[in-house]
Amino acid sequence: VYWRHAVGDFDRYQVFIKHNNTFLQNKTVPKTQSECVFVGLVPGRLYTVLVNTWSGLYEASTSTHGRTFPAAVRSLVLAGQGTEELRVVWTAAPGDVDHYEVQLLFSDMKVFPPITLGSWVEECILSSLTPGRLYKILVSTFSGPNQKAQYIEGRTVPSRVK
């Protein structure tokens, strides 16, 4: 957390972080500093940060909201392939997730528009693909405006001669 120094004479800052109106951590920061770090937070979670400026027994408070970056999905694997489809599965990303987005790429070019999936979904079947082609499958975790991507490559099965 960063802030601009308060104007005038003061003794110290006290910084709090809370979620859903529950105070989680607080730190006392010397007046010469204008930053502090909170650790052990939940990925993708929206927090409220309060910075109190103290002078003697008096305090002035300012608050803002901030969100940690989401975590990537875990254990992303290619679980099945056919001549025209690929199936990918994953384990849910830890923390707060709004939704997932699956993007299919060939030679780093988008093949289809991205597929949006709910935060409870842990698989995706991509169909109408070209036989024998190597694709890159990108699975992104979204929380608020932030995202974290994980990818895997997979090749469809070649077609038989006719």
CATH code of the domain covering residue 82: 2.60.40.10
- Residue 132 within any structural domain of the chain: yes
User: Which domain-ending residue is among 48, 67, 86?
Assistant: 67
Note whether 140 and 81 are same-domain residues.
yes
Q: Looking at the domain assignment, is residue 131 inside a domain?
A: yes
* Domain shared by 108 and 144, yes or no: yes
For the chain, where are the E strands, in sequence order? Answer: 12-19, 22-30, 46-55, 58-67, 74-81, 86-91, 99-106, 109-110, 115-118, 123-126, 134-143, 146-155
Question: To which residue do tokens 């608020």 refer?
Answer: 144
> Using an 8 Å Cβ cutoff, are 73 and 44 in contact?
no
Sign for the pseudo-dihedral over CA of 16, 18, 22, 25? negative
Report the residue count for the chain.
162
Tell me, what's the pLDDT at 114? Answer: 97
Do 58 and 95 belong to one domain?
Answer: no
CA-CA distance, 147 to 98, in Å (whole number)? Answer: 10
Listed residue (72, 23, 71) closest to 47, CA to CA: 23
Average pLDDT of span 158-162:
90
Q: What is the predicted pLDDT for the residue at 162?
A: 83
Q: Return mean pLDDT, the chain.
A: 96
CA dist., res. 26 & res. 29, Å (int): 10
81-109 average pLDDT score: 97
Mean pLDDT of 39-59: 97
CATH code for position 28: 2.60.40
Q: What is the pLDDT of residue 117?
A: 98
Question: Looking at residues 17-44, what average pLDDT do you find?
Answer: 97
pLDDT of residue 35: 96
Question: How many structural domains are present in the chain?
Answer: 2
Examine the domain organization and report whether 58 and 101 are in the same domain.
no
Contact 140, 103 (CB under 8 A): yes
User: Is 6 among the domain residues?
Assistant: no
Domain end, chosen from 42, 67, 92, is at 67
In this structure, what is the dihedral angle of CA atoms 116, 110, 92, 123, given to the nearest 10 degrees? 80
Structure letter (DSSP) for residue 98: S
Q: What angle do CA 25, 26, 29 make, to 5 degrees?
A: 145
Percent of the chain scored above 70 by pLDDT? 100
Domain that residue 133 falls in: 74-155
